[in-house]
Structure 1
């Protein structure tokens, strides 16, 4: 039983959220049930995760306000169990006050607790209820009374504590937040006092608001939240950034700088020691950069003065001075460019066109990698498209979206430059696992326990293909989808050709993954050997032809066109290795990237020209023939997923299932950005510099 499931959207980072959702949906089965409760205003976010859409289909209960009789039972039942009685007048008044209101039980609970403190013997009376302030004022009165009796210093600490325990809503209502005790710079005596007043709850190592109703019932807290809403959001982002900094061993590249650092510095008084350490490290790094720039400037000034004295005799030294001044100007411009790129990155989600214009200006002032990354990402966000209720994956031969009527998938076929509806897939309990390169056949998985094969040749009438019993979990297909590999329950690899009556079992044990080669000439197996997985190539008739690689267990292997395969090891920081196995000699490593998160996902160009890997922090593209890096983007915080690659054009989905097309051709991106009006407040972002021409003359 998982209560307050909405906290997975307010407290978890993307990796933890995906892990928890997959763990819960995988745990449910014939012998176990998983029940989650989620606030109605967060229900829409559940639909962004295919596993939850599948799990919630025909398995949901909408909980509305309690009926009058249910309220009476909820009030009188516990009292009778405790040997107490409730005046008839109190019961009638209480039911009348709360009847028909949603989410009112926390207020009822607190009001009855306060009425019990004012009981007559073992009788809860109407007079005690009114003395407590009634349903509208009991909780606020308790909170206000407790706050009024604090010292001046404790009031300031209490204000910061309550605000830290709140997540400001973004299109949803505000919600409470669970915070580790170690992250609170609050005296134990104050925590105990607030807990005794039942305003907060202290667990073994965390603190949270006792009643989420406190956010609405206590006017003082509601006023604090309204006054500090922007600062609260900034503080929560700083808390997440502090966690990333700590997780990466205090990597200086993860520190704030520029406008975000200035904003964070204004929040110092409300930060805990860990967050202040993160802020101080950022300020120290910024100070060091400024001092280095000042030292450079002073040296240049002294040098220029000396050159002025010797100018007549040493005219040539003027060239040296000009070079040094140019270097100082370049360093200043690079610092301003980085700062503007940071500001543009913060605008991508809300104003992508403005973000692209600001990133272009930053790139024109100094062509830093950061400015280029933000320009490419903002350009992609500005051109984002969607279809239906959102793409399930970037479209290719066809598009697929959520089908609200059947809880399956709606297929779409191309009609010139637009899409028109085709057939529907009854996949309410399953999700796409793999498809053939020609996209005419696809494998769907149901909770990692069953698999189905679909024929998508006729998009108006997709049909399920029957597979032999005992084939196991289908895992991959060749280019045309006529040859499949599967994993048996006995950890053996199976190979089956569509239309055949028999299934071939390869003589290999301890198999944990399979991938049939695109040309259908063999199969790549991942076999567990101790704490490692051996990646081996086998023929269809059961002969092992070589071991390609050894990687830490567990590993996932995927086959692409032209003999390309990708092996991703998920132990600790994930590592993806891309191999070219087409040649007759030893396999060639095309690319290897480490430090990935658990969302790491490779993608192949259908012609085998390029390969890409994306995760929650970045996107990378390599030339498959030479291994040369064609694109490296930092996408931290944008939650891009489901890559599809065509040459150097990378299509991805964002957190709202809209499709972005990331174009690695910077020249083309600049031309397309300049096709729209491009305006930037130059002197605000680049003070003391000469305005650069943003777009080429036409």
Structure 2
């Protein structure tokens, strides 16, 4: 558990509630905290009073640079607020022990030493994080075991991004900042520390992890400094593969140390370092950073502690828990909450002695969260108000009741302290409100003896001032209310607490599910369990998040080391390096029988070459295997015949026979399952699977070098997936044969070092000189598409032949455009891949390291992937896009077609150009600064820097409209019916002194006349949006949103955006919710009450540039300056799935149409994404996991008072 808060610690920092202290030092204090939605975070509060404005500004710049660091192996920075007097930084919470705690042991956890593969992976994880932050020009400067957390998906680095600026001055008496045994020699010498100091700390951490001792031990600063500068630590405990790297990292001369990228390149055995793409190297490191040993969770979440205490109580006492905790909450007039101490007599002084005793038991059960001091109870961890889902629900349900009870409570204390004076009783509206609340049968709070006495006295006072008839009626009302109050706790005790318990457990499991994104099987099971126990917005969002990610998990229980894979008939065949073949059921994720023996096991496993194939119905297995390469001598191949091709009947698991092929390397079934094609040392042969007779043989071309086990062979032989076409690639060209006819096609003159054939064999992908080229094997013509690829990798066509998988990236064959990715932080080299169906890809991946077993992973290549053919409008950049409100049309302004400006109109669905090039308006004074397409795609509007507004329709321009703002047009939007055009003004830039005029105007599109000047502002208008019915117009003006009724032109109100200038707007289909975008933040608003709907949503790494709701209003899409689009569950405010990537610039426009999302970027490139959700998300999650949650997992994650459930029953099982 975190240390308790100390006197003087705040209970909240910004929107985050504090739970305890995680640590403190010269830079500040780190708190365990919880956000408004209960998400756990770490908040570092800096000693802001000690910083100058210039230092704080520099710190802000560096922290924001650190925000751009990929979160592969770091704790993501969520928020930076460095304004005095209390600057702070919020980062992601990582569930796991620190390396310091794991090595030294904590509580009942024993000490641990890292060895072998886990030590290697630990080094990779830390080196990956250093490479990433050094790329962002950030130096950690306090790297130590305590700043390395062992998360569920590997080590994560924390507390980086500000140390370099903070430590430019003395942070301690010694003049040094950091942890002494991990500070580099140059720091002790007084020189500034750079990235080399982080590498030194990496080396010292590796020694500590392996030995449990500091590399440079000492008791005093001089002693430690002397050892750091002169001592060479003992590295004998490190494995031989790590020892040279650690020694180099601990070099006394910083210039002699390798950079972090070189350390990472050596650890991953990846040739990429600073000379290549650093992003690829970081991704490769992240994929290998997961620890093999079982992950150990860190301190339990505050919500789980509270829920366990609640579950320990009997149902009658559980009903009193709200009464205890709601008394600590004080509502503010602005809807905020604060906490208060609760006097013991206020809590326990009850009319019913049994109720008082029950309350004492409740307080004892929550002893870790409640502290009695000076006769008052205080919350030791105020964050429980947000961290505990059950309490969060009570607070929301009792929002109005909290105010009523608080007024009664204050009045009762005053009445009691003043001797029960009649002048202090409640009267008028206050008494009416109190009586109304007290008589409500739905409240979760009850009155104590003094509070009930106040109500009685208030009523008696009212009786003396009222007529008898009214008094009698009042007596009856109060008598009923007081009677109800007296028995309220007993009534509540009779209510079942199971529903509240289940809701809290569901919310807790949903939150845990998101901690396991690196292990989708576990994430899917926890999300399914949350939904089964009780459906909540959080459980639904967790489910949708799981099923919208491409990663479908790994065969975690796979024991041999796989090297190849085949698929067919809902089965997988995996060839292993021990000469066996295992068959798995894809649906159940279970192995079918024991592995089948193909070849005898051997000590040297790397000389094995194996290929496996399954017939389309999954009933027959063909496996080809050999060891080594054919001899170079003159020995006849028929006499060598090293290896075999064997067929099995998988129903009987008996061999059907062997095919006499020497040194076989590839085997493929035909679609009818009656023939197989085999490549061996004597060429390619077509065989009958029933008779096991050869039908046709095709020899290798002259001078072809058949070396299947050579990594440096320049010749390649491949078979199309339908088994009909075989291709031989050489430096001299590419030859293809049709095995069914025995005819050779004319050779293609291209160097072919790596080759893949589309299923039909008519398209070949050929790698040559850092590029993959696509060729038509029939016409011998090279297609226009080209795919950049530095090194040859496994190439796999999709079953329809329209896309090519290169590593884990998908590319469109027709255009060569990147069409998505199945990479979920796993960047190992794909050694083999096979499609089980049109959606499911199975890969075998690894790092070619003998220390690591290859992984078998499953991917869905369709979910949330873009249409493989984006719309890329013609024209030289820069292009300016202007989409329609419905996303079906796109207007494009190209300012540099030759010497003239040109406009275009495109249909985003068909990718057809509907108009253009269109010359600019003949009387325009300047180029366009804002454009928009009409909803029907038949017209466009353009505005310029002089405030001129033009309309193109029916093949001609009209305008400029009279009455424009006279300043730059920043933004414009058509109404949904296309009848109106709204425009927003900006700054007059042609004058010596720029003047902002944020005028919002409404125009009649048919006549070009102004309908209304809706508003003026000294700030620019940045965004506009019509409600879907066209009745409301929203304008982003500075940090506010102004709303108008378009019929009456009356202003409806103003929303004050808490996150700064508004950059994007979107309405739900019913117009009841408005989304606003700002810097890294999205806010949701109720347009009726003009109140915010929950806490702001964060996730983008820059400004939110566009927003759109789907038709249901339950999904929100956002586009950002960070070149990504994100999907959100509106109810829970949770992100759904992985970011949608592929755009090369800011995503400036979004629109939903049915289950398709259209996105547009600053280059006017349009992508369309499949955002369909499964009809049964729980079943889809269970399919991802392929198994139920075990009883051991259930007891680990689910509260103990909820009995075990089979959340993923098999067909025929009882629920």
Shared topology, TM-score over 0.5?
no
Which is bigger in relative contact order (C-alpha 8 A, separation at least 6)? 1
Give the structure with the higher percent helix.
1
TM-score, with structure 2 as normaliser: 0.26
TM-score, with structure 1 as normaliser: 0.41
Q: Quick check: which has more Rg, 1 or 2?
A: 2
Give the structure with the higher percent strand.
2
